[in-house]
Copies of this chain bind each other. A is one copy, B any other.
C-alpha cells in the first residue's frame, strides 16, 4: 500500500513507522521544515522524502495531513487537487468542524487520534503510539464508502480503535475535557501572579496542588491558538457553563451555606472518581498517598519494588514537602487487587501509606 504523510512530526512520523512495520507500506513524506525529512528517513518513519507536497502524494492510496489546525483547509485542498479519485485523505487535527466544513470532497474524512499530546517532534515518534488509542473519524455524508472503509481498516492495522463520530459531538467533548482546562489553567496562573504581586515583594511558594492545576498553562501557542479559535463556539459554551457554576458556588459562599458547600464538594469528588475510572482501564482506580524521603533514588526503589511485583503505576505525582527533605508521592493504580498488593508492598518497605 502506498501512503503519503504531509507534516512529519510526532503523529505523522508515528503513522509512518507503524504503516511500514505493520503493513509493509511504502511511505513517502513531505514537511515544510528543513531537515525533518532526513531525520524521519533516518528513524525509519519514511521510505523517502519528497521535494514537494504534490510529489509526495503522487500515486498514494491514503494521505495523512498532520498540519496545525489553521493550515489544514488550504493544505487539504492542495492534496485533493493533486491526487487521483481512488485515494483517501484524512487529517489529525484536534478540532474537526472547521476542517470538515472546508471541503465536501468525497475523498476526505476528518480524523483525530487521542495520542501524543505531551510532546512533539518526529524524534519522539513510535510505531505503537496508536496502539489501542481512540482515533476519531468524522466523515460527512458525502464521503465515499470504499475510501472510508479503507481508512478504517488502515487505522486498525496501525493499532488504533477508529471511532466514527460527528464533528460537532467531537468538538463539544474536547472543549469540555481539553480546551477548557487549558483556559482555566491560564487564568489561574494569571490571577495568582497578579494577586501575589499585590501582596508581597516576591512571589511566595504556591505548592503542588497549584502546580498540578496549572501544569498545562501556556501550552504551545503554535498549536493552541488554532485550537481555541477553531472550536471557539463550543469553548464559549463551556466558558459560559463554567461561569454559571462559579456563580452558583459564589452564591453558596455568600449564603455561608455549609451543607450546600459540602454537597457541592462531594458531588465533585464523585464526578472525579467516575471520570478517572472511565479514563483508565483495569477497573476501579485507587489513589495511594505515600510519605517518602525526597532523596535521589527513593521513588526509584519504590517503583522498582512495585514493578518487581508486577504492579503497574497508571499515574504518579510527587509532592515535595517545603522542607525538600521529605515528600508525599501519589500513585494511581487500577484494579482492587493490584492496589491492595501495592499498599502491602509499600508498608513492607516502611513507608506510611494512605488511600486518598
Indicate if A243 sits at the interface (CB-CB under 8 A): yes
Indicate if A317 sits at the interface (CB-CB under 8 A): yes
Number of copies: 2
Chain B residue nearest in CB terms to A315: B318
Of the residues B114, B172, B203, B211, contact of A205 by C-beta under 8 Å:
B114
Contact residues in B for A169 (Cβ distance below 8 Å) = 199-200
* B204 with A181: CB separation less than 8 A: no
Indicate if A270 sits at the interface (CB-CB under 8 A): yes
Indicate if A354 sits at the interface (CB-CB under 8 A): yes
Q: Contact flags (1/0) for A295-322 with B, using CB distance below 8 Å? A: 1111111111011101111111111111
* B195 with A176: CB separation less than 8 A: yes
Stretch from A59-67, A100-108, A142-150, A274-282 forming part of the interface with B: A274-282
* B209 with A159: CB separation less than 8 A: no
CB distance from A188 to the nearest CB of B (A): 6
* B176 with A265: CB separation less than 8 A: no
Contact residues in B for A356 (Cβ distance below 8 Å) = 119
Indicate if A349 sits at the interface (CB-CB under 8 A): no
* A270 with B207: CB separation less than 8 A: no
Where the two chains meet, the residues of A that have a C-beta atom closer than 8 Å to any C-beta of B are 114-121, 123-124, 126, 128-134, 159, 169, 172-173, 175-178, 180-196, 198-200, 202-219, 221, 224-225, 228-229, 232, 235-236, 238-243, 245-247, 249-250, 253-254, 256, 258, 261-262, 264-276, 278-279, 281, 289, 291, 294-304, 306-308, 310-328, 330, 352, 354, 356
User: Which 5 A/B pairs are nearest by Cβ-Cβ distance?
Assistant: A218-B269, A296-B307, A297-B307, A131-B323, A203-B278
Of the residues B176, B183, B194, B327, contact of A246 by C-beta under 8 Å:
B183
CB distance from A75 to the nearest CB of B (A): 18
* A188 with B178: CB separation less than 8 A: no
Chain B residue nearest in CB terms to A276: B211
CB distance from A342 to the nearest CB of B (A): 11
* B176 with A217: CB separation less than 8 A: no
* B238 with A207: CB separation less than 8 A: no
CB distance from A135 to the nearest CB of B (A): 9
Contact residues in B for A328 (Cβ distance below 8 Å) = 118-119, 124
Contact residues in B for A326 (Cβ distance below 8 Å) = 126, 128-129, 131
Chain B residue nearest in CB terms to A169: B199
* B130 with A323: CB separation less than 8 A: yes
* A115 with B206: CB separation less than 8 A: no
* A243 with B245: CB separation less than 8 A: no
* B184 with A213: CB separation less than 8 A: yes
Of the residues B178, B206, B312, B324, contact of A207 by C-beta under 8 Å:
B178
